[in-house]
Amino acid sequence: MGLIIKNLVGGYQNVPVIKGINLEIQPGEAVGLIGLNGAGKSTTIKHVLGLLRPISGEISLNELTLKEQPTQFKQQVAVIPETPVLYPELTLKEHLELTILAYGLDRGHVWPHALELLKLFRLDDKLGWLPIHFSKGMKQKVMIVNAFLTDAQLLIIDEPFTGLDPLAVANLIDLINSAKRAGKMVLLTTHVLQTARRALERYVVLNNGLIVLDGSLDSIKQHYEIADDNFGELYQKLAVEQSK
């Protein structure tokens, strides 16, 4: 069970940006994928979303493989991308309806939950709005509401902590923590470790397309001999490691 990435080699037009990754995430676990710009975080995510085809290796989610059961696999995954993807001609309400359709959800059952989420992110009075009227953070919140509306077992969240206000960040952290309690899996990329630690216990450090560490933030700090919470120093040390 869980997400299993086995010996993944992948990237763009056969350029192996990802050079052999092994990663398992168990139900109820949230993992932070961290590393320098260009380390391979987004490329890994694109592979898990089935947007890139592996050069070799395999990805499975609760025993469904992306290769053999791509449709069922993708229905188990919800994504909150760093840059919101919204349809300019659809209202907020229509975006939610689309998610309900795409994930085959029961409208009557899910709509009260949608209203709760909208209220949490102060979007409940904006159901008739089109994306053009939303700010960047509001668009991000629409993506969050859509993702948490689904019953997907794996939530992929790409750098959520840079465009949201502190209230929305706190709400997102609460949602991640309750998703974990519900047995879901979370894979989150971020550079903002000070905030991520409120939701994540486990971190995977990517450097140059390889996993160089997998553990708690404390074990990472220990490994790189980081004093206090000076995470800037961590990235300096990763840069030194990368250039070797």
- What residues line the site for ligand ATP (CB under 6 A)? 12, 17, 35, 37-43
Measured from the CB atom, the residue of 1 and 240 that comes closer to ligand ATP is 240
Measured from the CB atom, the residue of 12 and 87 that comes closer to ligand ATP is 12
Rounded distance between C-alpha atoms, residue 169 and residue 167, angstroms: 5
Rounded distance between C-alpha atoms, residue 1 and residue 161, angstroms: 29
| Nearest distance, CB of residue 51 and ligand ATP, angstroms | 10
DSSP helix/strand/coil, 166: helix
Measured from the CB atom, the residue of 43 and 171 that comes closer to ligand ATP is 43
Residue that the structure tokens 């840059």 belong to: 83
* CB atoms inside a 10 Å sphere around CB 103: 17
Measured from the CB atom, the residue of 37 and 243 that comes closer to ligand ATP is 37
| Nearest distance, CB of residue 203 and ligand ATP, angstroms | 14
Query: Which run of H or E residues covers position 78?
Result: strand 77-80
Rounded distance between C-alpha atoms, residue 240 and residue 207, angstroms: 11
| Nearest distance, CB of residue 204 and ligand ATP, angstroms | 12
| Nearest distance, CB of residue 13 and ligand ATP, angstroms | 7
